[in-house]
Amino acid sequence: MSKRPRNASVQLVVVGSLALDTVETPRSTAREVLGGSVSYACAAASFFTRVGMVAVAGDDFPARGRALFRRLGINLEGLQSARGRTFRWAGRYETDMNDRRTLATELNVFESFAPSLPPAYREAPLFLLGNISPELQLRVLDQARAPRLVAADTMDLWIRTARPALDRVVKRVDVLLLNDGEARLLTGEANLARAARAILGAGPEYVVVKKGEHGATLYGRRGVRVIPPYPVENVRDPTGAGDSFAGAALGALAGAPRISMDTLAASLLSGSAVAAFGVEDFSLRRLARLRPAEIRKRYRELRAMMGGRP
């Protein structure tokens, strides 16, 4: 993490939505800003490893978006261009910034998106199947040669509308990330520990339950780890926090000698540190100006919050 990674080969492939977001908060509104799960996850991962983006942009996708991705060292060979409008999402946060309401979703070019991995991506050791339809996640997974670890994120929409495909994803991934309400919805278990155990029984080696401002919990077959949230005092826009969290965690994992509860917990702590910066401004603005030394400082503070040596 000390400097922009120089390893030329892509270590982490991320697929997800590339969007132009309109975000309303009680204090202000950002219109048609860079967003989508793949943007946040790739930007967050870029501080740790060489990341490749799999997504689709419409012909209205702004050049400054691609320029930002390039400046962050993100490999864009897997970013397709399509005729038509880029995916749009609009949402509103209520007073306490935890309640979000989706105001509009326009799939646009995502409707006919068929992800295809460039040869360099197929050999990558790590895959993050960001929040898009499980059918698209499976298409990407089918093209991975022999990944060391595959993580997938999901959301309530797919649990409700694409359950058979989602079940196939769950069966094939090593790490499933989802929020607490989604874990309950997926399993029908109100108790989170039982919900996590049910998911572990369906395939993944690890389950990461995201709890918004309460941080996250990592459940493994033989243990549980707490991933604390960094206490951000100025939350300006929580959009993408979960994607930054997952992206940074997978990026950090690329540097781990092996995958275990210890290294996964440490990587998720890096995810928590980076996600805490992302919410301090709209869109990718804070991530775009984030410095590695800032991440290291928050990481140390998070360790101290758990009583560890800073």
CB of 280 to its own copies, least distance (A): 12
Q: Residues 33-72 vs its own copies: string with x where CB under 8 A?
A: ----------------------------------------
Name which of residues 87 to 106 contact its own copies (CB under 8 A): 95-97
User: Of 63, 64, 114, 233, which one interacts with its own copies (CB under 8 A)?
Assistant: 233
Measured in degrees and rounded to the nearest 5, phi and psi for residue 33 equal: -100, 160
User: Of 265, 273, 284, 287, which one interacts with its own copies (CB under 8 A)?
Assistant: 265
201 counts as binding its own copies under rule CB under 8 A:
no
User: Of 214, 221, 289, 291, which one interacts with its own copies (CB under 8 A)?
Assistant: 214
225 counts as binding its own copies under rule CB under 8 A:
yes
262 counts as binding its own copies under rule CB under 8 A:
yes
Instruction: Give 139 or 225: the residue with its C-beta nearer to its own copies.
Output: 225
Tell me which residues touch its own copies (CB under 8 A).
Answer: 95-97, 184, 190-194, 196-197, 211, 213-215, 217, 223-226, 228, 231-235, 262, 265-266, 304-308
